[in-house]
Amino acid sequence: MRVFKFGGASVKDAEGIRNVYDVLQKVGFEDVLLVVSAMGKTTNALEVVIKDYFDKSSALQSSVQEVKKYHNQILLDLFENDKNEVFVAVKSLFSDLEYFLTHNKSPNYNFVYDQIVSFGELISTTILSHYMNFMGIQTQWIDVRNFIKTNSNYRDAEVDWVSTQKNISKNVKRKILNVTQGFLGSDENNFTTTLGREGSDYTAAIFAYCLNAESVTIWKDVPGVMNADPRYFENASLLNQISYREAIELAFYGATVIHPKTLQPLQKKEIPLYVKSFINPLLKGTSVSKGVALEPFLPCFIVKRNQLLISLSSIDFSFIMEENISEIFALFHQFKLKVNLIQNTAISFSVCVEDKFDNFKSLNTILSKKFKVDFSENVTLYTIRHFDDMATQTVEQGKKVILKQVSTETMQIVTSDDK
């Protein structure tokens, strides 16, 4: 079986859904499992719904209606008339969403978040599955929440591999096009969980691992894995082949083409990963597999914006030792700040972090009791793998460098502004 993952950009409108059909016609669809994300910016739109729900805003019904209108237009563009059963199926999902908004009693933001955002994937896969059936490709729509079981760490759930393996290996049908949702799972109480933002790649890897799949293909709007994000760097080059190790390094530092969790289960069973273009599906793209060196050793640029640079120093000029650092990292873990760079001296400790849950204000209150805390918001972190002088100059030119760290193969540069 092959596993394909289509992200939100590939199914953002009716044309995108039709293109998925065209891609499958060209590359084959028998014995394939499709993992599909929410359409376009639906997750963002549902986050607005969540905000309005907690704010008890009068705009709640309007924000729900915006999500409805968006999907209804796609339905009208895809199907000949509104008598198709897909309209009933999507209407039922929106009824479930509205029922939850009306009857939920839990004040837990993360729990509510997962229950609401999950409708993006449920709706997108329902529409895509019905369209494939409409066009003559028989599909099996499966609810991923019955397959991927997790703990109850909402918004960043950990997979229960034993239960998940059993569910997938027993119940996924072969020799048919399976359609399921990325990003989602469920806990032991069958409440919906999510695997972390952009977790659909990880979903594809989970299914591939449990099915001993032939391969995983992530379909993107780029030709494959590039050595730099074309939005920020001119003349970005395609990497034809890279090793699992190099891909994991790139993902660790924040390359957005491949989700950081995706590669580990694939590497364990040596399942090749392909990153290919849904615009030109017959192009080779990038292959990620065992024992293949990065070809060639081009500098690879990774950009992470909206970072937070925190500098801690001892109030009494004493050394910052292992005990202090251990305590600091325990707090970072507790407040869910992702650390992307570390630099320390005898009496100071600096980290560049990602505060995706907006927890730094609370953390700062605790840190300030023991340390002098300085911080810079909205900094940019550049990582250069296989750096050279020209690559370094490309990043630093016209920017204010406030921190730099160099190892054998990797340079990281924090800048406070882009001019």
DSSP 293: -
DSSP 159: B
Strands 177-181 and 184-186: unpaired
How far apart are the C-alpha atoms of 209 and 227, rounded to whole Å?
27
How far apart are the C-alpha atoms of 63 and 53, rounded to whole Å?
10
Amino acid letter for position 124: S
284 closest CA partner among 27, 36, 1: 27
Query: Angle 109-134/42-54 helices, nearest 10 degrees?
Result: 140
Do the annotations mark residue 121 as ligand-binding? yes
Amino acid letter for position 263: L
Phi, psi of 343 (to 5 degrees): -150, 130
**Token digits of residue 360:** 């730094």
How far apart are the C-alpha atoms of 141 and 268, rounded to whole Å?
28
Do the annotations mark residue 231 as ligand-binding? yes
**Token digits of residue 37:** 């994300």
**DSSP H helix total and E strand total for the chain:** 12, 16
Where do runs of H (alpha helix) occur along 139-275? Answer: 161-171, 200-211, 244-253, 263-268
Do the annotations mark residue 43 as ligand-binding? yes
DSSP 291: T
**Token digits of residue 24:** 């499958």
DSSP percent split of the chain into helix, strand, coil, nearest 5:
40, 25, 35
Number of alpha carbons in the 13 Å side-chain half-sphere of residue 288: 29
How far apart are the C-alpha atoms of 121 and 42, rounded to whole Å?
9
Q: Cα 241 to chain center, whole Å?
A: 22
Buried b (16+ CB within 10 A) or exposed e, 202-219: bbbbbbbbbbebebbbbb
Phi, psi of 117 (to 5 degrees): -65, -25
Query: Which residues belong to the annotated binding site for substrate?
Result: 43, 121
Query: Which residues belong to the annotated binding site for ATP?
Result: 5-8, 231
Query: Which residues belong to the annotated binding site?
Result: 5-8, 43, 121, 231
